Amino acid sequence: METPPPESIQQTMRQPTSLQEAAQTALAACVVEDKLDATQALAARWQAGDLLWDEQTRPLRPEAAGRPPQPHLVSPRELPKRGLGTPEGRAALLHAVAHIEFNAINLALDAVQRFAGLPRDYYNDWVQVAAEEAQHFGLMRKRLRALGFDYGDFPAHNGLWEMATATADDVLARMALVPRGLEARGLDVTPGMIERLREVGDHPSAEALGIILHDEVGHVAAGSRWFAYLCAQRALDPAPTYIALLRQHMKGRLPCPVNFADRRRAGFDQAELEQLARLCAEV
């Protein structure tokens, strides 16, 4: 057998051996293609049983999450409003979704590497979510490029990752406020985006968003599953705990519409939905 060249040996030596190290490699990647490749490699290796959990690995700080130099991050109030009647207007909408999906990759990877001592199924869920979010980003980037644009061409905001920082010390708060809070808003607003894109004849973009909406029900359901598990572990009543966290961290704001059907499929119970209806009416 031929001896591998020194460069190959070095690459082998750098190969992550634990689930956390692999998640941290993907999380820290700043080049988009590197993050996508590392995320898919993580999912494949975890599924193959090639990665172990290492209790000694310390989580990366939230500020260590990698992102490319573009898009330029601004306050949500600074994002311009654009109609969908032009390719640029549609691209701006799709860019906003792509940015959400990029952050969602980091959020799923962070959920894997940050929180120890949970059942293996927890890590199965969030590794799968990370891989699917990478696929969603690819769908949006493909549509952006078809319209003559790319990720980074429009400004974006950092609200999703700011919530990751706010919930870095508590997995229960993370499950409540990221998958069941900010990401669940995607279930509420995506049907309207799909309809608007169809109205202007952009059926490929509408179809791509339909795929994302279908998968996101499962992602929010994973948040619901582990939120319920953690509430049971801490002897907490899920519905009032969830609403209290919304009021504490999101000031109880929940703009209408609320997609009750998909939220129900994603694990929201009737008590939570009734409270959400009240919050929506208060805005």
Give pLDDT tens digits for 62-89: 888 999 999 998 887 778 888 898 999 9
pLDDT tens track for 180-233:
999 999 999 999 999 999 999 999 999 999 999 999 999 999 999 999 999 999
* pLDDT reported for residue 8: 33
Has residue 174 got a pLDDT over 90?
yes
Report residue 283's pLDDT band, with 50, 70 and 90 as the boundaries.
low
Is the confidence at residue 4, as pLDDT, over 50? no
Which pTM does this prediction carry?
0.92
Q: Quick one: tokens of 208?
A: 């791509």
* % the chain with pLDDT above 90: 74
Question: What pLDDT does residue 282 have?
Answer: 66
Higher confidence at residue 11 or residue 94? 94
Neighbouring CB atoms inside 10 A of 237's CB total 10
CATH topology of domain 18-49+77-282: Ferritin (1.20.1260)
Residue 277: pLDDT over 80: yes
- Asked if pLDDT for residue 11 goes beyond 50, the answer is no
Instruction: Say what the alpha-carbon torsion angle 184, 27, 123, 99 is, to the nearest 10 degrees.
Output: 20
DSSP states of the chain: -PPPPHHHHHHHHTS--BHHHHHHHHHH--SHHHHHHHHHHHHHHHHTT--B--TTPPPPPGGG----S-SPB--GGGSPP--SSSHHHHHHHHHHHHHHHHHHHHHHHHHHHH--S--HHHHHHHHHHHHHHHHHHHHHHHHHHHTT--TTSS-B--HHHHHHHHTTT-HHHHHHHIIIIIHHHHHHHHHHHHHHHHHTT-HHHHHHHHHHHHHHHHHHHHHHHHHHHHHHHTT--HHHHHHHHHHHHHTT--PSP--HHHHHHTT--HHHHHHHHHHHHH-
Q: Residue 273 pLDDT > 50, yes or no?
A: yes
pLDDT at 10 over 60: no
With a cut of 90, say whether residue 29 has pLDDT above it.
yes
Higher-confidence position of 225 and 55? 225
| Segment 92-106, tens digit of pLDDT | 999 999 999 999 999
Residue 5: pLDDT band (50, 70, 90) is very low
Average model confidence (pLDDT) for the chain?
Answer: 90
* pLDDT for residue 12 is more than 60: no
